[in-house]
Amino acid sequence: MNGVWREGNRVRLLENGEEYYPRVFEAIAAARSEVFVETFILFDDVVGQQLQRALIDAAKRGLRVELTVDGYGSHDLPGEFVRAMVEAGVRMHVFDPRPRLLGFRINIFRRMHRKIVVLDGRLAFVGGINFSFDHLREHGPLAKQDYAVEVEGPLVADIRRLAESAVAPPRRWWWRRPPPPKDAAQVNVGNAVALLAARDNHRRRDEIELHYREAIRRARREIVIANAYFFPGYRLLRELRDAARRGVKVALILQGRPDMPWVRWVALTLYDYLLRAGVSIYEYCERPLHGKVAAVDDDWATVGSSNLDPLSLALNLEANVIIRDRAFNAQLREHLQQLMADRCEAITPEQAPPRTPWRQLLTFLAFHVTRHFPRWAGLLPGHRRPALPVTVTPAVAATARPAANVPKPKKKAA
């Protein structure tokens, strides 16, 4: 595991777009030297337009503004939307842009799934919330339930370093890299000990999963995991089973009203195995659950972009903040317990799918797929290609309709 624990941080939990967007836009407006934004999805809607205006204003104030979006998640950005930012001085990057093939998006593997904002090297936001209207309750019944964490303190330098690595040209000498802001905060500002866990396709392939497994293995009292897309690897499933069998109270909050129907069907194949081991399963049915958070015992918590599914754990670029702070843990745990009590349906063994021969076969196949998927993932298209974004130039933006039509980078050695 490559992440480093940093002491002296101040952390704050943000729930949904109602808390996240105003705080991020306020912070961008107050930035003095630089703004980094990474998002899987950016739409040309009311939220995307607010971000666009905030970044344009920052660029016009003379700040360094770097925006990175994913070529799959943000595939339909209008050229006019992109051009307005680029001409104002925003440096925009598209991760793995590819044209459609017969109308279908083909860059489905190895997505840049992170959601990160870093301001002046002093303040950062990490979580699962994209810049799109469907993260606001105003969107209606399909508005997403999600979380992010605001971070101040020494950990921000690690988050900034990760964000800059996505936009720095390859093989760029260290003395040619723009230096960090002079006012970047390295002093202790709070009591939280925190670590940035990132997943990539090079040296940090399983870092996030390893932290989950270690925390589950060390749990002595309680584990609460809320995760939108749940189909983890065999080893993580086994750790959850073993924790429940040794007396740890293990609770999973999963989607009961998913945004994609197959999500629940896939998770159902694991219900019998987990329930028989003593794991409690709650389905959040108020609206689609998009969160990726967990709390273990009294002093371990995580908030980030990583689902517990094969895409996040074996293919995507992801980022989670792992926090050791009793106050933050208590706040998150209390929120999740209230969610289970008021807005979830507890799944009993009787409600689980019956153990028919067909269901047992599906469960058997699910276990073996999750057990071997990380090794198989290396054979999937694009997995070994470098994670290099594409800079959108004014000339390209003027002619591109969607941002995903930006010419893709030349292939380089992994």
Rounded Cα distance between 63 and 238, Å, is 48
CA distances from 206 to 118, 312, 375 (A): 24, 10, 12
Categorise residue 79: left if φ over 0, alpha if ψ from -120 to 50, beta otherwise: alpha
Q: Which of 204, 404, 237, 242 is nearest to 320 (CA)?
A: 204
Residue with tokens 């303040």: 123
Q: Calculate helix-pair angle for 234-245, 261-277, nearest 10 degrees.
A: 40
Q: Supply the DSSP symbol for 52.
A: H
**Residues with catalytic roles:** 113, 115, 120, 290, 292, 297
> Which residues partner with 118 through β-bridges?
36, 124
Rounded Cα distance between 235 and 241, Å, is 10
Residue type at 394 in one-letter notation:
P
| Angle (nearest 5°) at CA 116 between 217 and 133 | 110
397 CB burial (10 A radius; 0-12, 13-18, 19+) = buried
Rounded Cα distance between 279 and 249, Å, is 7
Q: Supply the DSSP symbol for 174.
A: G
What is the rounded (10 degree) CA torsion for 271, 274, 275, 280?
A: -100
CA 313 to chain centre: 11
CA 38 to chain centre: 10
